[in-house]
Homo-oligomer: A and B are copies of this chain.
Amino acid sequence: MKNVKLAVIYYSSTGTNYQLAQWAEQAGKDAGAAEVKLLKIAETAPKEAIAENKDWKAHLEATKDVPEVSLKDLEWADAVIFSAPTRYGNLPSQVAAFFDTTGGLWFTGKLANKVVSGMTSAQNLHGGQETTLLSLYKTMHHWGAIVAAPGYTDEVLFAAGGNPYGVSVAAGKENLPDKVRKAVVHQTERTLQLAGWIKSGNTQK
């Protein structure tokens, strides 16, 4: 996986998915990926909505220096790990807005064969943790990306909730437990490993 360029692309309003994304970033570096970028999806919510929510406003301020993802980043990446909360079982509009700008890359085949996996959060225990990831994977199928959901490929996944579609949590005020971090590390390593194999093959052809 030393040949793999990894983009960890996240949207977070109050920090949960930023935490998951940071863990994936660290795991990517620890695993020896060629390059790892932690990239946030631009906030598109109205300023008034954000102003009414203290935690949201604080998180936006706290992460103002995290670079925003661009289409160039997406084209650059061999592997992508997405992390975003649910919105009624679907992806947040911020993520959708970013995806809606990728038509040019899609049309010219630049999104095919990237290896992808996703992570998510919801307020309730079963508030869209599964269904949101499947919405992500629908878009990935349209892109011609290669979906490498973790399944049950490592023991650490069971302890973290056993979501075969990707790491997921119930969001709240508390810090996420270390067992979740371990699952993120596994998912990241797996995504990188598959991307490395595919990139090697694709280069040698």
Q: A125-B125, A148-B146, A161-B125 are in contact. Are A87 and B100 (CB under 8 A)?
A: yes
**Quick one: copies of this chain in the complex?**
4
Q: Is the CB of B96 within 8 A of A162?
A: no
- State how many angstroms separate the Cβ of A1 from the closest Cβ of chain B: 9
The CA-CA distance from A91 to B132 in the complex, in Å, is 13
Q: Does A44 contact B (CB under 8 A)?
A: yes
Q: Is the CB of B142 within 8 A of A88?
A: yes
Q: Does A89 contact B (CB under 8 A)?
A: yes
CB-defined contacts of A106 to chain B, threshold 8 Å: 88, 152
Q: Is the CB of A89 within 8 A of B164?
A: yes
The CA-CA distance from A202 to B123 in the complex, in Å, is 30
The CA-CA distance from A134 to B130 in the complex, in Å, is 11
Q: Does A67 contact B (CB under 8 A)?
A: no
With beta carbons under 8 angstroms apart, the residue of B124, B162, B164, B202 that contacts A144 is: B164
Binds B, one of A15-23, A69-77, A192-200: A192-200
With beta carbons under 8 angstroms apart, the residue of B124, B137, B205 that contacts A158 is: B124
- State how many angstroms separate the Cβ of A32 from the closest Cβ of chain B: 13
Q: Does A10 contact B (CB under 8 A)?
A: no
Sample of 9 more A-B contacts, CB < 8 Å, known A88-B143, A89-B138: A92-B100, A124-B161, A124-B163, A126-B163, A126-B164, A130-B131, A144-B150, A144-B164, A147-B147
Give 5 nearest A-B pairs by CB, closest first: A197-B201, A144-B151, A124-B162, A126-B163, A89-B138
The CA-CA distance from A141 to B138 in the complex, in Å, is 13
CB-defined contacts of A205 to chain B, threshold 8 Å: 193
With beta carbons under 8 angstroms apart, the residue of B100, B141, B158 that contacts A164 is: B141
Q: A124-B161, A127-B162, A201-B200 are in contact. Are A89 and B142 (CB under 8 A)?
A: yes
Q: Does A58 contact B (CB under 8 A)?
A: no
CB-defined contacts of A197 to chain B, threshold 8 Å: 197-198, 200-202
Q: List 8 A-B contacts (CB under 8 A).
A: A87-B100, A88-B138, A96-B96, A124-B164, A126-B162, A127-B164, A130-B130, A131-B138
